[in-house]
Amino acid sequence: MIIPSIDIIKGKVVRLYQGKYSQIKKYSETVEHYIEQYLISNAEMIHLVDLDGAKNYEKRQTSFFKTLLLKKPNFFQIGGGVKNEKDIEILLSFGVKRVVIGSSALKNTDKVKKWLKNYGPERIALAIDIYIHKNSFKEVVISGWKERTGKSFENIISEFSSSGLKHVLCTDVSRDGTLSGPNFFLYKEISEKYQDIEFQASGGVSSLKDISILKKNKIKSIIIGKALLENKFTLLEAKKCYQKE
């Protein structure tokens, strides 16, 4: 599945470079404009990121997201600033299809395990962002990638597998927002090692060739943000490329 992604700050479409708020690019079109375009192109799901909420929990764009979700319930995947069960309940009540949990998976592991069991693996996805060291150690980073945990990607997958984990959004932080191409070796490795998990590859996609290679590497879903915003190709072209492989 091709999943178009929209990052949002103060109700506006933006992109960050490698997750850095100091390196932000703003787009003139509205969030609603992009959603409408993706719906016209028969997107199966749209990934929305509350960057305000991810940076400061008190500044979550809850009311704005409620308005967006009225357009098409049970269709959006949303992440950014989800810290407790009340946050999940609110988003699900708005009609979110899947809630993405990031830093809380490391900070409140037992609670997140409970959420996975209570809401089911189709409703909860983990966002595991990693910094890959020269020795190939995949270190998980949290809190907007500012905090390194010392824990490995493999450790986190193992930790949650017994709780029914199914959907994982995996980002190599060195590739995000760069249009430099995905980390193909990473996605090939994890998709082969953890065949029961449906990975969403995120970060670096810049061409239809990237999509083709990721599909051949058995990646179930590909999140694409900047490449679509920058008109590197259309969503229809991306979907056709993915389905062809």
| Active site members | 7, 129
Rounded Cα–Cα distance for residues 141 and 41 (Å): 34
Give the span between the Cα atoms of 79 and 127, in whole angstroms.
8
Are 204 and 181 in contact, with CB atoms under 8 Å apart?
yes
Distance between CA atoms of residues 203 and 92, nearest Å: 26
* Burial of 55: CB neighbours in 10 Å, binned 0-12, 13-18, 19+: middle
State how far the Cα of 109 lies from the Cα of 123, in Å rounded to an integer: 17
Find the farthest-apart pair of alpha carbons in the chain and give their distance in angstroms, rounded.
47
- CB-based contacts of 128, cutoff 8 Å, min separation 6: 105, 140, 153, 156, 157, 168, 169, 170, 171
10 Å CB burial of residue 63 (0-12, 13-18, 19+) is: exposed
Rounded to an integer, what distance in angstroms lies between the CA atom of residue 219 and that of residue 222? 7
CB atoms within 10 A of CB 14: 18
